[in-house]
Amino acid sequence: MSLEKQDVIKIAHLARLSLDDSDAEQYQQSLSSVLDLVEQMQSVDTDGVEPLSNPLEAKQRLREDIVTEENRREAFLANAPQTEAGLFLVPKVID
Amino acid sequence: MIDQSIASLAKKLRDKEISSVELTQDYLARIKQYDGQLNSYITITEEIALAQAEAADKQLAQGAASPLTGLPIAHKDLFCTDGILTTCASKMLHNFVPPYESTVTGRMLASGTVTLGKTNMDEFAMGSSNEKSYYGAVKNPWNLDKVPGGSSGGSAAAVAAGLCVAATGTDTGGSIRQPASFCGITGLKPTYGRVSRFGMIAYASSLDQAGPMARSAEDCAHILQSIAGFDANDSTSAEVDTEDYTANLDAPLTGLTIGLPKEYFGDGLNNDVASAIQEAVKEFEKLGATVKDISLPNLNLSIPSYYVIAPSEASSNLSRFDGVRYGYRCEEPKDLMDMYKRSRGEAFGKEVQKRIMVGTYALSEGYYDAYYLKAQRIRRLIKEDFVKAFEEVDVIMGPVAPTTAFGIGAKTDDPIAMYLEDIYTLSVNLAGIPAMSVPAGFADGMPVGLQIMGNYFSEAKLLNVAHKFQQATDWHTKNPSLVEGA
């Protein structure tokens, strides 16, 4: 299965990845070859086979609804590219 | 000192033949001498290591030592280490200093290990050659023109070259076993859920599993003992008791049934690798095991299934890297969307971006059923093959990889060829079973790894099987000339 360049641009947008023109052509080829590789799945009869998402088929555990974390605001903000007044700073969202 | 076992080093430390500080200094000196050629470490934590070694010496003096106390080890740079740079070999995390400790590294610290540093890897663990690191390719200590395998290539190279006693690795599709095979060391990927994923930077959450990489099965057993077991911080951690992994290492193999899947010995397998594996199997027969031919008919489907499931989960997991809370942010973003796109586009390598896009496509509206759900249905078929096989045999054996280590750059132009290299390892992660790579000879001067696969939570049995082989053979004691020169 081969992708059009427009498909790649759309996928990159959904994945929030910037893409220049030459990248788009390169990915068009490399993504298409991965999709070709996985295409052989479609010839396998999986009717009545349930999807397996957890290899142990374990269910998610529930825990008590209590606070387990202490407040470590400074430690977590220390890794942020930009902070102000104890908050993460991002480019202006609303005019 | 460099090529001794954990048990023998631990005894020397207890008998005061050597101190942990001296041992640590020896390893740090070796790293300085040799790692310029290998590039196996991203970060060397000299000061921290020496402080930990001093503390270990005090513990040893008080007689309060564990079997790992005072031993200098290394961690793959994917485990969050409190206060120590953790990059995942990506520009995205070039400046990330975690404010918390992963369960694996935390348990190793509690066992008294000394952290020499953080090892190189393929960026975000996506790769089979360790050529895809932001910090440069790692070289194979057996031949500097060859790859060490990946993604835990730095850990494998460091252990093989005697730049640490042992190391941690992670295995999503073969990332412990294949580099262990290429570098001639012993590696164990435990059962999914056996070792906590808390604090491991996630690649594909339903496949990722951490494990030991060391000089022998016995050494792996000591490390696994430290890191295995339930952890409430990992929602998929298995609530299954651990075993004493060293207690039955010497149990006889009489009556052991080994399954040899015909799919592991077909087209594409290098002849010399095949011969080494067949010789190894004969050795097991001498030890009292019987061999049975079996079939894992869906093996070929593990490649498409894996290359949908892993990128899909990666696409979701790596969405956290948005330039807001940690990691790289582009210069002067003009708005929020620009910041997301350029931060991610500038800081993720090409292979990572490719896998994110494959996953994004597979999960997108209209394609989810045909790709993601289909891959998960095939995943069940692959698991059922193993379940059925283990009704007849105790362990399954085959090669880890179709060839020995390939040349640096040899497969960079053909990524699909690189994906096909994973044919013998992917199905183990899809099924969630444990498997090891054990040195089993050489082909053209490069190490060959024997893969031993076991039923769920049979780590103790696998280690026993591997240990008995290592008592009967000396492949695991062979060292590259870098070590011989020490």
Average pLDDT estimate for A52-76: 91
Measure the CA–CA gap between B4 and A89, rounded to whole angstroms.
52
ipTM of the complex: 0.96
pLDDT of residue B305: 98
Burial of B484 (0-12, 13-18, 19+ CB in 10 A): exposed
Q: Please report which helix (H) or strand (E) contains residue B46, including its range.
A: helix B46-61
Q: Does residue A94 sit within a domain?
A: no
pLDDT of residue B458: 98
Burial of B291 (0-12, 13-18, 19+ CB in 10 A): middle
Torsion of CA A9, A10, A14, A19, to 10 degrees: 10
In the three-class reduction of DSSP (H, G, I as helix; E, B as strand; rest coil), residue B240 is classed as: coil
* Average pLDDT taken over every residue of chain B: 96
Tokens of A66: 């209590």
Nearest CA in chain A to B338: A18
Prior bond of B151 cis (ω within 30°):
yes
Q: Does residue A66 sit within a domain?
A: no
What lies within 8 Å, CB to CB, of B213 at 6+ separation is: B152, B155, B156, B159, B166, B167, B168, B169, B176, B179, B180, B185, B186, B187, B220
Chain A contact for B457, CB < 8 A? no
Chain A contact for B323, CB < 8 A? yes
Nearest CA among B278, B252, B281, B306 for reference residue B426: B306
The answer to whether the CB atoms of B99 and A76 lie below 8 A apart is yes
Question: Residue B486 pLDDT > 60, yes or no?
Answer: no
Q: Does residue A78 sit within a domain?
A: no
CA distance B379 to chain A (A): 6
Q: Are B112 and B225 in contact (CB under 8 A)?
A: no
Nearest CA among B350, B349, B339, B344 for reference residue B320: B344
Tokens of B394: 């105790």
A contact test, residue of B330, B361, B427 with most A CBs within 10 A: B361
Of B303, B358, B383, the CB nearest to A31: B358
Tokens of B117: 């540093």
How many structural domains is chain A composed of?
A: 1
Average pLDDT estimate for A18-36: 93
Three-state SS string over chain A comes to: CCCCHHHHHHHHHHCCCCCCHHHHHHHHHHHHHHHHHHHHHHHCCCCCCCCCCCCCCCCCCCCCCCCCCCCCHHHHHCCCCCEECCEECCCCCCC
pLDDT tens digits, one per residue of A42-57: 999 999 999 999 999 9
Question: Residue B485 pLDDT > 70, yes or no?
Answer: no
Structural domain for A37, as ranges: 5-42
Q: Let me know how long chain A is.
A: 95
Q: Does residue A18 sit within a domain?
A: yes
A53: chain B residues, CB-CB within 8 Å: 206, 376
pTM score: 0.97
What CATH code is carried by the domain that includes residue A12? 1.10.20
Burial of B254 (0-12, 13-18, 19+ CB in 10 A): exposed
- The residue ranking higher by pLDDT, B219 or A92, is B219
B335: chain A residues, CB-CB within 8 Å: 91-93
Band the pLDDT of B421: cuts 50, 70, 90. confident
Band the pLDDT of B415: cuts 50, 70, 90. confident
Band the pLDDT of B484: cuts 50, 70, 90. low
Q: Does residue A55 sit within a domain?
A: no
- The identity of residue B158, as a single letter, is A
Question: Which residues, in sequence order, are bridge partners of residue A78?
Answer: none
Tokens of B418: 């690189």
Q: Are B190 and B228 in contact (CB under 8 A)?
A: yes
pLDDT tens digits, one per residue of B292-322: 999 999 999 999 999 999 999 999 999 999 9
Band the pLDDT of B413: cuts 50, 70, 90. confident
